[in-house]
Amino acid sequence: MIAVDANILVYAHREDSEWHREALAALTALANGTRRWAIPWPCVHEFIAIATHPSIYVPPTPLATALAAIEVWLSASSCRAIGEGPDHFAVVKALALKGRIQGPMIHDARIAAICLQNGVAELWSADRDFTRYEQLKVVNPLVANECGG
């Protein structure tokens, strides 16, 4: 299964993004394909926070539009939302200690833990910080020939 990070969702959604075409093509391929994919709940929340933030985008995406985008992605038959499992804290703790994370980096550890707990084989992200979690294969679908999809 592939999981999709918030940055890929934002780039696919925002037409004014430098990476819009590539991200939209990657998500469209997932949504129209048969390979299972997922969006971690923290990435859903982060997508909404970024897309609707008036200091990041002018104009920001209206909340109803951002929520509708999430609904469209989650309605794909091959997509599901994933979240924390029963041993989540133990997994986050191990990742945090091994990755020597601090401060806001805990957010990425949380996403990595959710992915690992839900059997994700690849996390699609343009964020290089995920490479600190060697148990999780990170693929940037915006870079030609890197997409494992």
- Domain range list for the chain: 2-139
Architecture of domain 2-139: 3-Layer(aba) Sandwich (3.40)
- Whether the per-residue pLDDT at 147 is higher than 80: the answer is no
pTM above 0.95, yes or no: no
Q: Is the peptide bond before 59 cis (omega within 30 degrees of 0)?
A: yes
pLDDT digits (tens, 9 = 90+) for 38-61: 999 999 999 999 999 999 999 999
Name the strands in the sheet holding 79-82, side by side, starting at the edge strand that comes first in the sequence. Answer: 79-82, 37-40, 2-4, 122-124, 137-139
Contacts of 113 (CB under 8 A, 6+ apart): 84, 88, 91, 92, 95
Supply the mean pLDDT for the chain.
Answer: 94
**pLDDT of res. 148:** 47
- Whether the per-residue pLDDT at 144 is higher than 70: the answer is no
Asked if residues 115 and 3 have their Cβ atoms less than 8 Å apart, the reply is: yes
Take residue 55 and report the two structure tokens written for it: 């200091």
